[in-house]
Amino acid sequence: MSIYTTPRGTARLRIAALVAAPVLALSVACQDDGEGGARSSDEVASAPGNEDGAEKKPAATGKSAFFDAQMKYVRCMRGKAGLKDYPDPKLSGYLDWSKIDALVDPDGGGEEYKGGKNGVCVPELRAAMNLEPERDAQKDYESMLAHAKCMRENGVSKFGNPTMSGGNVLPGGETDPTDPTMDRDSPAYKEARVACEDKLLEGLDGMQ
């Protein structure tokens, strides 16, 4: 099981605290097959027939289960959290942060990132992230490194590189998150983000 650990306290990294408390970490789920082994992301569980002989619909697993769980979270955010325009997840199952960012109330407390007001949808958020398909830490590190270099090449000179520690990826960005030096809302920063967005693998948006 790989864990992406980040000390950031920004709203964009809200899932970390919610899903892997007490440490700020975004956990990549490892599915157990019930026999001590890992279940592959593409494996489809079979279900026994019911008492009348009709087969039950197999439970969704892997990417399908991740997407379905994210949809439950989205529906909760639209209903219980009152964000009727909360966007559908991408086909990969990952949330569409660019669209979510557009919904954020600048005078609010970042509830759009944190499972709604008072965490009303946190259980659904945790359930979804626990079903995230296993990731390759080395590939994610290389992706974030390429993104960090791109950000610097596009004018954000203080954007730091990610690091690897104990098989975990620590995202780059602010070299000292407790004393931020980059204005993430500036036109220059936003332009660099757009120019470099294709450097990040699916699911890494918002990690740095």
- Give DSSP secondary structure letters for 123-137: HHHHHHHTTPPP--H
DSSP-derived 3-state class of residue 29: coil
Amino acid at 73: Y
Q: Round to whole Å and give the CA distance between 16 and 173.
A: 16
Q: Round to whole Å and give the CA distance between 23 and 167.
A: 16
Tell whether the model's pLDDT for residue 55 goes beyond 60: no
CB 125, CB 89: distance < 8 Å: no
Select the more confidently predicted residue: 49 or 99: 99
Q: What is the mean pLDDT of residues 169-191?
A: 88
Q: Round to whole Å and give the CA distance between 53 and 63.
A: 29
Structure tokens at 193: 């983000």
DSSP-derived 3-state class of residue 142: helix
83's enclosing H/E stretch is: none
Q: What is the mean pLDDT of residues 148-156?
A: 97
Q: What is the mean pLDDT of residues 145-149?
A: 97
Q: Round to whole Å and give the CA distance between 135 and 30.
A: 10
The pLDDT of residue 176:
80
Residue 51: which pLDDT band, with cuts at 50, 70 and 90? very low
Rounded to a whole number of angstroms, the CA Rg of the chain reads 19
The pLDDT of residue 76:
98
pLDDT digits (tens, 9 = 90+) for 71-107: 999 999 999 999 999 999 999 999 998 899 889 998 8
For 25, phi then psi, to 5°, come to: -145, 145
Convert 20-42 to b/e letters by CB count within 10 Å (16 or more is b): beeebbbbbbebeeeeeeebebe
Give the residue from 194, 195, 140 showing the smallest Cα distance to 172: 140
- Whether the pTM exceeds 0.75: the reply is no
Query: Using the 8-state DSSP alphabet, how is residue 4 labeled?
Result: E
The pLDDT of residue 185:
85
Q: Round to whole Å and give the CA distance between 129 and 124.
A: 9
The pLDDT of residue 37:
39
pLDDT > 70 fraction of the chain, expressed in percent and rounded: 70
Give the count of alpha carbons within 13 A of 76, CB side only: 22
Average pLDDT across the chain, whole number = 76
Tell whether the model's pLDDT for residue 20 goes beyond 90: no
Q: What is the mean pLDDT of residues 112-122?
A: 93
Q: Round to whole Å and give the CA distance between 208 and 200.
A: 10
Tell whether the model's pLDDT for residue 136 goes beyond 50: yes
Question: Residue 208 CA to chain centroid, in angstroms?
Answer: 11
